[in-house]
């Protein structure tokens, strides 16, 4: 999908973080961008900032865990721009409960609803539209290095599922000779505020499991500030769309960790962890 000028992109989780970085990069490429997020005030602030910079954007408050909300997002996008050429299923949350068996059912329902079912709802709603358009189109699903490595607990479980789903959809599209293509984004540490996902946790799912005793919002904030900029991630996403590249890996220093896991799998070894970069 070489030419992005005047094409339409829909980005979930676009009010901040990686979603905002993608929206900014798409706007710079001349695309019209539909931004969606559950955090209404931040969403409208981001949309206003992009408009002030000259971008053609449209904002829709959306809870991706709701199939109806995602369907309404598609209706709004199509009603505003008439087509959708790029979909970024990016919205995600993090629940840091440990150990995993003490995570509550509310933890599971919340993180599965956003991180996995949000992607499912996006694919089910938008991909048939893209196929019917019979034009070049692309879906980007945000997973994580946690979907390729061992030890991610609830978050890793959802991101591993997103990787597997994305691989399957890629094979189905190629097998059937359809024009849309798909990528899976597996970033490492990025300067976002996902560590503070609790700000958007639904009241009906408020029963949270325990967090590690050495964890704090301030410590997490300091760590995430050292991560890759969301804008840099957005630029890598645009490159992958242009190249029709499936894997978007933003942190090559983790290559040996992925190799370590795959080697253990092939050898039938029990899982172990390598020290993370910087440790």
Torsion (CA) 208, 214, 215, 218 in degrees, nearest 10: 140
How far is Cα 143 from Cα 277, in angstroms, rounded to an integer? 20
Residue 272: both structure tokens together: 């172990």
Secondary structure (H, E, C), 53-75? CCCCEEEEECCCCCHHHHHHHHH
User: Within the chain, what is the greatest distance between any pair of CA atoms?
Assistant: 56
Report which DSSP code applies to 129: H
Report which DSSP code applies to 268: T
Tally DSSP H helices, then E strands, for the chain: 9, 7
Known catalytic residue at 155: yes
How far is Cα 5 from Cα 271, in angstroms, rounded to an integer? 46
Cross-strand pairs, 183: 140
Residue 165: both structure tokens together: 């789903």
Catalytic residue among 81, 155, 195, 254: 155
How far is Cα 162 from Cα 157, in angstroms, rounded to an integer? 9
Contact predicate 147/159, CB 8 Å: yes
Residue 116: both structure tokens together: 């996995």
Which three-class secondary structure state does DSSP give residue 140? Answer: strand
Nearest CA-CA partner of 248 in 150, 147, 123: 147
Point out the residues that are catalytic. 155
């Amino acid at each position: 999908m070489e030419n992005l000028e005047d094409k339409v992109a829909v980005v979930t989780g676009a009010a901040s973080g990686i979603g905002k970085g993608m929206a900014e990069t798409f706007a710079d490429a001349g695309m019209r961008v539909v931004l969606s997020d559950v955090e209404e005030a931040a969403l409208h602030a981001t949309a206003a900032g992009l408009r002030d910079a000259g971008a053609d954007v449209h904002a829709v408050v959306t809870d991706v865990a709701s199939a109806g909300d995602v369907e309404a997002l598609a209706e709004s996008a199509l009603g505003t721009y008439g087509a959708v050429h790029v979909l970024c299923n990016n919205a995600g949350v993090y629940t840091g409960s440990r150990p995993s068996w003490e995570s509550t059912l509310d933890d599971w329902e919340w993180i599965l609803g956003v991180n996995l079912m949000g992607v499912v709802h996006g694919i089910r709603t938008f991909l048939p539209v893209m196929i019917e358009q019979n034009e070049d189109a692309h879906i980007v699903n945000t997973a994580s290095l946690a979907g390729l490595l061992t030890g991610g607990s609830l978050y890793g479980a959802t991101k591993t599922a997103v990787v597997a789903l994305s691989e399957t959809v890629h094979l189905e599209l190629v097998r059937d000779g359809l024009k849309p293509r798909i990528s899976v984004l597996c970033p490492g540490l990025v300067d976002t505020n996902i560590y503070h996902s609790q700000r958007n946790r639904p009241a009906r799912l408020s029963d949270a499991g325990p967090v590690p005793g050495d964890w704090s919002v301030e410590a997490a904030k300091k760590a995430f500030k050292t991560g890759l900029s969301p804008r840099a991630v957005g630029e890598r996403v645009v490159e992958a769309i242009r190249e029709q590249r499936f894997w978007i890996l933003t942190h090559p220093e983790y290559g040996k960790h992925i190799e370590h896991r795959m080697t253990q799998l092939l050898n039938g070894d029990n899982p172990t962890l390598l020290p993370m970069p910087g440790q």
